A = this chain, B = another copy of it.
Amino acid sequence: MKYGHFDDARREYVITTPQTPYPWINYLGNEAFFGLISNTSGGYSFYKDAKLRRITRFRYNSVPIDNGGRYFYINDNGDVWSHTWKPVKKELDFYECRHGLGYSIFTGERNGIRVEQLAFVPNGENAEIHRLKIKNTSDAKKDFKLFSFIEWCLWDAQDDTTNFQRNFSTGEVEIVGSTIYHKTEYKERRNHYAFYSVNVPVDGYDTDRDSFVGLYNGFEAPDSVMNGECKNSVASGWSPVAAHQINVELAPGEEKVFVFTLGYIENPQDEKWESKGIINKKPAEALMSRFATDEAVEAAFAALKGSWDKLLSHYTLQSDDEKLNRMVNIWNPYQCMVTFNMSRSASYFESGIGRGMGFRDSNQDLLGFVHQIPERARERIIDIASTQFEDGGCYHQYQPLTKKGNNDIGSGFNDDPLWLILGTTAYIKESGDLDILKEMVPFDNDENNKATLFDHLRVSLDHVTNNLGPHGLPLIGRADWNDCLNLNCFSNTPGESFQTTENQEGGVAESVFIAGMYVMIGKEYVALCKEIGNEAEAARATAEVEKMEKNILAHGYDGEWFLRAYDFYGNKIGSNENEEGKIFIESQGFCVMAGVGAETGEAEKALNSVKERLDTEYGIVLNNPAFTTYHIEMGEISTYPAGYKENAGIFCHNNPWIACAETVIGRGDRAFEVYKKIAPAYLEEKSDIHKTEPYVYSQMVAGKDAVRHGEAKNSWLTGTAAWNFITISQWILGIKPDYKGLKVDPCIPKAWDGYKIMREFKGANYEISIQNPNHVSKGVKSLVVDGEVINGNIIPDFKDGKTHQVEVVLG
Contacts and interface: CB of A to CB of B under 8 A. Distances in A.
Interface of A: 19, 21-22, 52, 59-68, 86, 89, 151, 155-156, 158-159, 161-166, 168-170, 172, 185, 187-190, 209, 213, 215-220, 234, 236-237, 239, 276-277, 349-351, 353-354, 491-496, 628-630, 638-641, 644-645, 649, 699-700, 702, 706-708, 713-714
A164 B350 contact: yes
Contacts of A61: 161, 164, 239
Contacts of A495: 52, 155-156, 159
A218 B169 contact: no
Given A165-B713, A237-B644, 17 more contacts: A61-B164, A62-B62, A63-B67, A63-B68, A63-B217, A64-B216, A155-B494, A155-B495, A159-B495, A164-B349, A168-B713, A169-B649, A169-B700, A169-B713, A218-B218, A237-B702, A277-B628
A22 B60 contact: no
Contacts of A350: 164-165
Contacts of A237: 641, 644, 702, 708, 713
A349 B22 CA distance: 31
Contact of A188 (B164, B638, B706): B638
A69 to B, nearest CB: 12
B62 A189 contact: no
Nearest to A269: B492
Task: Give the 7 A-B residue pairs with the shortest CB-CB distance, closest first.
Answer: A236-B707, A169-B644, A188-B630, A188-B639, A189-B494, A162-B351, A190-B494
A276 B351 contact: no
Q: Which of A59, A61, A165, A220 has the most CB of B within 10 A?
A: A165
A190 B630 CA distance: 11
B161 A349 contact: no
Q: Which of A21, A645, A702 has the most CB of B within 10 A?
A: A645
A161 B163 contact: no
Contact of A172 (B188, B641, B713): B641
A189 B59 contact: no
Q: Which of A156, A189, A216 has the most CB of B within 10 A?
A: A216
Given A161-B351, A349-B168, A638-B188, A276 B62 contact: no
24 contacts: A19-B216, A59-B59, A61-B164, A63-B219, A64-B215, A64-B218, A65-B215, A66-B216, A162-B351, A165-B350, A165-B713, A166-B645, A168-B713, A169-B641, A169-B700, A185-B639, A188-B638, A189-B493, A189-B630, A190-B494, A234-B707, A236-B707, A237-B641, A237-B713
Task: Identify whether the interface residues of A are mostly helix, strand, loop, or mixed.
Answer: loop
A354 B492 contact: no
Chain copies in the assembled complex: 2
Nearest to A52: B495
A81 to B, nearest CB: 15
B707 A645 contact: no
Contacts of A699: 165
A334 to B, nearest CB: 21
Given A59-B62, A217-B64, A164 B494 contact: no
A22 B702 CA distance: 43
A640 B169 contact: yes
Contacts of A707: 234, 236
A649 B155 CA distance: 24
Contacts of A89: 216
Nearest to A277: B628
Contact of A236 (B21, B165, B628, B708): B708
A544 B59 CA distance: 56
Contacts of A349: 164-165, 168
A188 B209 CA distance: 43
A64 B151 CA distance: 13
Q: Which of A495, A638, A700 has the most CB of B within 10 A?
A: A495
A350 B164 CA distance: 7
Q: Which of A19, A86, A641 has the most CB of B within 10 A?
A: A641
Given A164-B351, A218-B64, A237-B641, A494 B169 contact: no
A67 B65 CA distance: 13
Contact of A640 (B59, B170, B239, B353): B170
A219 B63 CA distance: 7
Nearest to A352: B162
A374 B453 CA distance: 68
A185 B236 contact: no
Contact of A216 (B65, B187, B276): B65
Contacts of A217: 63-64
A639 B155 contact: no
Nearest to A350: B165
Given A185-B639, A640-B169, A215 B161 contact: no
B276 A629 contact: yes
B706 A236 contact: yes
A189 B491 contact: yes
Contacts of A164: 60-61, 349-351, 714
